[in-house]
Amino acid sequence: MTLDAALRTAFLRNRELEVREYAPEIIRQAIAEARAAFDPSISVTGEYSDQDRPSMDAGAGSGFGMGSAAGTSDNAVIQQLADIREFLEAAETIREIVQRPDIEVSTTEGFGTSVELAQPLPTGTTLSLTGNYQRTALLGSGTDYTGTWNIALTQALLRGFGPDVNLVGLRKARNNAAIGDLAFRDYALTLAEGVENSYWDLALARETLRIRQFSLQLAQEQLALNEAHIEVGKLPGSDRISAEAEVASQKAALISAQADLHNSAIELWRLMNPESQAPADLSLIPLPLPDLDAVSWSLDTSLALASQFRPDLAQARLDVENGTLDVVETKNGLLPRLDAFVSYGTYSTGATPGAWNDHLYEDTFDQVAVGLNFNMTLGNRAEKARHRSALYARDQAAAAVRNLEQLVETDIRKALVELDRQREQITASQQEVAMREEELAVETEQFRLGRSTNFDVMQVRRDYIQARVDEVAARVHYLQALTALFAREGTLLTRRGVALEIEEEKES
């Protein structure tokens, strides 16, 4: 199994990645919601009314209009008495109308419709077009038909003026969508690093198992050599005990190596999550460790790459942009509302059904309105508090970026130090393996000649086996340090050819 195959399987099948990939799509829906603020709207109203009320014609001649006698006298007292009499007569007339059992009823029947189409714009402008139709019928007096149309423009002059403030919601939604994508990429970067580390842990466990198998073989050969020397009397029988103990010790080390290999395979299997279930005797076989070429790394280059590719750094910068947008919005909220409006329309009416639109297309019966609306909250303490909060939040986000940039530089410096350390460890461990191997050959030959003890051979062999384990571990740790450097740069996915399919914003 290659590293590329492990990465490809993990990105296709990892369950946590599957859960997280929904988050960017959910966040991205806020863009459509923000764009909806500038969608046109239509409003249609239909109304039918039927109103009954008492007719005033029934008592019109019983007493109203009296008081002419008062007009012929210059005496103020007589005038006041005449006014009182007129008021009392009018009250009596109203009482008679209310109590009259056969009062006449005036019925008005009406039907009307209105349609309004409105279009808000990012400039703070609202355009509206309104049309009305009204039919009013007074029973016994005929029917009136009325029609109007009106076009109006309202423009915010202070609060809500211009695209800078009116597009804040849309721009923040786009920034948040980008933050969601970056958060998903950040987890994908973590997943790739985890898969690579698990893959190299598996490779180390497999190489360690081979070394332990070889070590057991050497211990068994030493035991056989001891038994041969005991049979010919070159060694006492007690030397067999130490040789057998060494074989048992190497068997225990081999069992631990087998368990480590199995655990490493289980962890890599979890990250890959292939469709098939893990068998009881799970066995994943990585490729042999590759040859390592000497490569030099530049701190300045790595820092420049991190500034461009680190998802968390890009998220922090977008947080600053969102903070700036909040400042723009809250600063605009400090202004009073002053809206200018202008409207123009025409009016048509008549007694025939078609009269409602006879004059709608003429300027004979037009109507024009121009004006200003002003509104202001005295003190404006809430908006001032929100603006101060936005300023603090923006400054906090900027400080977070500076702090993160410092942490990124620290991470990269540490990664480069670790990379250099492991590269030097490889050279040193390879030299140690060569020396220990030669030492073991010499010590084994001395034992055959009877010039060395069984203990000396076992001690040299253990040093040789440990040197081989250290050499393999140094090579694996170098590969993992290289992975860590790429992850700290944010370039691991790009270097491995992993392209995340992130849906772009769709116009609607």
456-487 burial, b if ≥16 CB within 10 A, otherwise e?
Answer: ebbebbbbbbebbbbbbbbbbbbbbbbbbbbb
- Residues 177 and 31: beta-carbon distance below 8 Å: yes
Amino acid at 267: E
* Side-chain-facing half-sphere of 499: CA atoms under 13 Å: 2
Q: What fold does the segment set 3-36+166-332+381-460+481-495 form as a domain? A: Outer membrane efflux proteins (OEP) (1.20.1600)
* DSSP output for 213-229: HHHHHHHHHHHHHHHHH
Would you state the structure tokens that stand for residue 222, as one six-digit string? 């030493």
Burial class (CB in 10 A: 0-12, 13-18, 19+), 42: exposed
Would you state the structure tokens that stand for residue 220, as one six-digit string? 């068994």
Residue 152, strand partner residues:
128, 343
| Distance from chain centroid for Cα 474 | 40
Taking the C-alpha atoms of residue 285 and residue 270, their distance in angstroms, rounded to an integer, is: 15
- Residues 497 and 314: beta-carbon distance below 8 Å: no
Quickly count: other Cβ atoms within 10 Å of residue 28's Cβ: 21
Amino acid at 332: N
Taking the C-alpha atoms of residue 174 and residue 166, their distance in angstroms, rounded to an integer, is: 14
Q: Is 146 helix (H, G, I), strand (E, B) or coil?
A: strand
**256 vs 209, 315, 361, 374, CA distance in Å?**
9, 44, 96, 82
Domain boundaries, the chain: 3-36+166-332+381-460+481-495, 56-103
Helix axes 299-309, 454-489, angle to 10 degrees: 50
CA dihedral 329, 334, 336, 337 (to 10 degrees): 10
Taking the C-alpha atoms of residue 136 and residue 356, their distance in angstroms, rounded to an integer, is: 11
Per-residue pLDDT for the chain (508 aa), expressed as one digit of tens each? 888 888 998 888 888 888 999 999 999 999 999 999 999 999 999 988 877 676 655 444 444 444 444 444 456 767 777 778 887 877 777 766 666 555 566 777 788 899 999 999 999 999 999 998 888 877 667 778 888 889 999 999 999 999 999 999 999 999 999 999 999 999 999 999 999 999 999 999 999 999 999 999 988 988 888 788 777 777 777 778 888 888 999 999 999 999 999 998 888 888 888 665 555 555 677 777 777 776 778 899 999 999 999 999 999 999 999 999 999 999 999 999 999 999 998 877 776 666 656 665 666 678 899 999 999 999 889 999 999 999 999 999 999 999 999 999 999 999 999 999 999 999 999 999 999 989 888 888 887 777 777 778 888 989 999 999 999 999 999 999 999 999 999 999 999 888 876 655 544 3
